[in-house]
A = this chain, B = another copy of it.
Amino acid sequence: MKSNYKHIIKNAYKLTKSQKDNGQLATYIPELANVDPSMLGVHMTKVDGTNFGMGNHLDKFSIQSIAKVLSLTLAYKILGEKIWKRIDVEPSGTKFDSLLLLEINNGIPRNPFVNSGAIVICDILITHLKNASKEFLSFVRDISDLPDLTYSDKIADSEKATGYRNVALCNFIKSFGNIDNEPSEVLDFYFDMCSLEMNCEQVSRTFTFLANGGNKISDNKKIISNAKSKRINALMLTCGFYDESGEFAFKVGLPGKSGVGGGIVALYPNNYAIAVWSPKLNPNGNSYRGMKLLEEVTTHSELSIF
């Protein structure tokens, strides 16, 4: 890694650390409310393997919705363009649209990154795999080079016990015929998937395949085709941040994905993946300081995709 990058990340980290943090911890998953809100970490991994991190970049956090990119990758790899019969590729517009638009669109979620879309992806994987939960974990272990990675039962159980909104979504889609398996089975897998824990270093390394034409950087193994990798990046850019996707594209200018655990991953194709973590969320459900830090990095590196 060029010292230039290190310099930019250091400065962005320091600036963000020195400013007031304005967000709120996610409370709808009780277990997430127990996280230390002062955490701030950042780690960048270049496609040549060089990498650099700051702050709490080696502390694990619940990656939550960031995992949706990985489940999409697995389903897209297995089934190809067929999956788009069951999920659209458009931004969702507003928060409540997730339900309004689901009804208008007869149970076809707007994109694979809103909860409804990720739930349909889980349903697809359950149908096409012998043991979706197990095989998805193997897939993530492989691309992350973390053979000991496991789901967090504590997080998954916490969400299972209180995730009424997701139960509602899954049953609503089922009522339109766009869920093939039993809602409880689909949701068990969905909650498992979202319970994965990694640190910033691991997340940034894991996602380098999307900055590397679909190939793992450690052994150059093809995870997914170059064309599919580009399309996943396009989806992250237009749909990765709920109703703040336009803002992220506008200010940061990179494909990315956030999670309510306060993590964000972003990619600069052919260059690097970067992960940040700060638990307090802005009103749109994205990490308040994570957004700031990434904006600093791309503003000073002048390396957005635009």
**What residues make up the interface of A, taking CB atoms closer than 8 Å to B?**
88-94, 96-97, 99-101, 103-104, 110-111, 164-165, 167-172, 174-175, 183, 226-227, 229-231, 233-235, 237-239, 243-247, 249-251, 253, 255, 269, 299, 302, 304-306
Q: Which of these, B90, B104, B168, B172, contacts A91 with CB under 8 Å?
A: B90
Question: Whole-angstrom distance between the alpha carbons of A182 and B151 in the complex?
Answer: 26
Besides the known contacts A89-B247, A96-B103, A237-B237, 19 further A-B residue pairs in the complex with CB atoms under 8 A apart: A91-B91, A91-B245, A91-B246, A93-B94, A93-B101, A94-B101, A96-B100, A96-B104, A99-B103, A164-B175, A164-B183, A167-B171, A167-B183, A168-B169, A172-B172, A226-B302, A231-B250, A235-B250, A238-B238
A94 touches B97 (CB 8 A): yes
A299 touches B245 (CB 8 A): no
Question: Whole-angstrom distance between the alpha carbons of A232 and B174 in the complex?
Answer: 34
B244 touches A90 (CB 8 A): yes
B91 touches A93 (CB 8 A): yes
B299 touches A227 (CB 8 A): yes
Q: A103-B99, A104-B96 are in contact. Are A234 and B255 (CB under 8 A)?
A: no
Contacts of A235 in B (CB 8 A): 246, 249-250
The smallest beta-carbon distance between A220 and chain B, in angstroms, is: 18
Q: Which of these, B91, B111, B243, B304, contacts A230 with CB under 8 Å?
A: B304
B306 touches A234 (CB 8 A): yes
Closest 3 CB pairs of A and B: A93-B93, A168-B172, A91-B91
The smallest beta-carbon distance between A288 and chain B, in angstroms, is: 18
Q: A165-B172, A167-B183, A306-B269 are in contact. Are A246 and B90 (CB under 8 A)?
A: yes
The smallest beta-carbon distance between A59 and chain B, in angstroms, is: 30
Closest to A236 in B: B306
Question: Whole-angstrom distance between the alpha carbons of A90 and B250 in the complex?
Answer: 9
A246 touches B253 (CB 8 A): no
Closest to A102 in B: B99
A304 touches B103 (CB 8 A): no
A168 touches B165 (CB 8 A): no
The smallest beta-carbon distance between A134 and chain B, in angstroms, is: 27
B245 touches A90 (CB 8 A): yes
Contacts of A97 in B (CB 8 A): 93-94, 97
18 of the cross-chain contacts (CB-CB < 8 Å) are A90-B246, A93-B94, A93-B97, A99-B100, A99-B172, A100-B100, A100-B103, A165-B172, A168-B168, A168-B169, A229-B306, A230-B253, A230-B304, A231-B306, A235-B249, A238-B238, A305-B305, A305-B306
Closest to A232 in B: B306
Closest to A174 in B: B164
Q: Which of these, B96, B164, B231, B250, contacts A171 with CB under 8 Å?
A: B164
